[in-house]
Chains A and B, each alone.
Chain A
Amino acid sequence: MAITVPRPDLSAAEKTYLPALWEGLKVTARHFKNNLFGKGKVTMEYPEERWDSHLPEYYRGVPALVTDEHGKDRCVSCQLCEFICPPRAITITPGEIPPGDTFAKTEKRPQEFKIDMIRCIYCGMCEEVCPEQAIFLQKDYLVVGTRREDMVHDKQKLYEIGGLKTGLVNKWDEKK
């Protein structure tokens, strides 16, 4: 349904636009003046000033894969994160776990898992969608590289960043 927003009733003076201009200029001038004398600045001057100690619990840094306390790669390469990832940063090559393996019950794990950090927008969708609690956004935000290839995190790097995470649901237990 269309909503009609009533137009404000303006006086003749206001209609000339000039009072509004004047008011606006006053505001900008105030800010300008304050900042000129070093007051009111809110910018943190990275890299000298850092935010690390202020990072909130829900901070969304680089996404990474985790291993659980049994040493198991949590990811089963279901590719849901690849599907959901808005900028298509994730590329997974699924792979099979050979029958003899300790975690053969899971049958599947990624053969390769790549996140292009140039593309990633740190939205956290991958973490949200993962049915296996395998991918988490970490607190790290410093991703640097001098070439495009450096900016693609491969499986090894992702596990390195993600490390170990305890207390997750263990659904690939032999009994379940």
Chain B
Amino acid sequence: MPDFIQPWLFLLPIIIKVVVVFAVVMGLVAYASLAERKVSAFIQDRVGPNRVGLPLTLLGFKKDLAIGGLFQPLADGLKFLLKEDLTPGHVKPFYYWLAPALTVVPALLTIAAVPFGSTLFGYKMVVADINVGFLFVFAIASVGVYGIVMAGWSSNSKYSFLGGVRSSAQMISYELSMGLSLVPLLLVMGELNLGKIVEYQAWHGWTLLPFTDLRIQWSPHWEISGLNWREILLWIPMLISFVIFTTAVFAETNRAPFDLPESETELVGGYHTEYSSMKFACFFMGEYAAMITGCALITTLFLGGWHLPIPIIHDGAFSLQTRTGDHGTLWGILNILTFLGKVIFLVIFFMFVRWTLPRFRYDQLMRLGWVWFFEIALANIVLVAVLLAFFPK
């Protein structure tokens, strides 16, 4: 190996991680769109896309293999690429072109700070292990709104404009309660590094399910550990935080029931009314990527990230234990799969919500954000502070 490469070698695992994470997220995005359509179809007693499969007839076979429309995302992608890319005459071209990029990139960037596994071959399973990961995520995620505002403004169309304005107002309102809802978490864990937050949960129980580090011993004597008064009392504010944060994620990602920026019935297509082809696809991807990132964040902050409690009965004791990549490569892989599983579960939950709830009215949305969530999140902080004063670590 040539010498000059040596100092750069440390980049290799990072690049591999970046590429793999990117590929996985994009794959998730593609299949999330298929899943969304399938889920909605099933919920509405329909069939959903079921045609695009293997075009075996092209190879001389009698029949195509539909495999339940599993290749639909490929067809969609192709279609987006091949469609005519229109730039309407009345737009501001520079910003018009910039907007779609500004929507996808932040959505993908946030993923960088999220730990998607424990360790593998000694490497930490996170693209950027930064100790202010938490703040990084917030900073980048809020950049996403610029794409939408820009799209709305540069399209020079009333529908787009209204969509853009709604979106920015909505994002600003919910960013606040989103941030505040997480302060209790920080108070409890005293950590900003997302990796450390997950580790904390691995050893002290998930934020949402504090008993995942339960240990019940019956011989030689009775002893229960992993669940104490402190944890049980703190559970309540954590639940509140969870509800607020999850709802805020819905709003931040413009998902139903908060999809006002693109409410078709009023605004045609909302901020992306004037977009077509791949530029539209960028918005589409951005939206799904944002949803996936949001789910990853919820997983990381509340559902213990990659952690899977392993029940073990040993030495007269039942305990839920933690296994990381340090215990073996297979455990490392299991952690990654656990993380993926949790994210996918949340994504499907998001979809269920979308096909269950009607859209909020704009004033209701604002009320909910400013009057309820904001106040509750504030009160929640005080509550946690008081609790921590009585039950210090």
Contact = CB atoms under 8 A, between A and B. Distances in A.
Interface in A3-47: 18, 21, 24-25, 27-29, 31-32, 34-36, 40-43, 45
Interface stretch (B135-143, B268-276, B348-356): B348-356
A166 to B, nearest CB: 42
Interface in B25-69: 39, 41-47, 50
Contacts, number: 41
Contact of A28 (B47, B50, B243, B356): B356
A43 B356 contact: no
B42 A35 contact: yes
Interface string A40-71: 11110100000000000000000000000000
Interface string A61-84: 000000000000000000000000
B99 to A, nearest CB: 32
Contacts of A42: 45-46
A27 B356 contact: yes
Interface string B343-386: 00000000011011100000000000000000000000000000
Contacts of A36: 42
A41 B45 contact: yes
A18 B50 CA distance: 34
Given A21-B357, A24-B357, A35-B41, A43 B46 contact: yes
Contact of B44 (A21, A25, A31): A31
A13 to B, nearest CB: 14
Contacts of A40: 45
Nearest to A27: B356
Contacts of A41: 45-47
B47 A32 contact: no
Nearest to B348: A32
A139 B36 CA distance: 36
Contacts of B45: 31, 34-35, 40-43
A24 B243 CA distance: 17
Contact of A25 (B39, B41, B356): B356
Secondary structure at the A interface, as helix, strand, loop or mixed, is helix
A39 to B, nearest CB: 9
Q: How large is the interface on B (under 10, 10 to 19, 20 to 34, 35 or more residues)?
A: 10 to 19
A28 B46 contact: no
Contacts of A28: 43, 352, 355-356
User: Which of B44, B45, B355 has the most chain A CB atoms inside 10 A of its CB?
Assistant: B45
A40 B41 CA distance: 11
Nearest to A24: B356
Contacts of B50: 45
A42 B47 CA distance: 8
Interface string B158-202: 000000000000000000000000000000000000000000000
A174 B50 CA distance: 61
Interface in A67-118: none
A29 to B, nearest CB: 7
Given A31-B42, A32-B42, A35-B41, A25 B47 contact: no
25 contacts: A18-B243, A21-B356, A24-B356, A25-B356, A27-B356, A28-B355, A28-B356, A31-B42, A31-B43, A31-B45, A32-B39, A32-B352, A34-B45, A35-B41, A35-B42, A35-B46, A36-B42, A41-B46, A41-B47, A42-B45, A43-B45, A43-B46, A43-B47, A45-B47, A45-B50
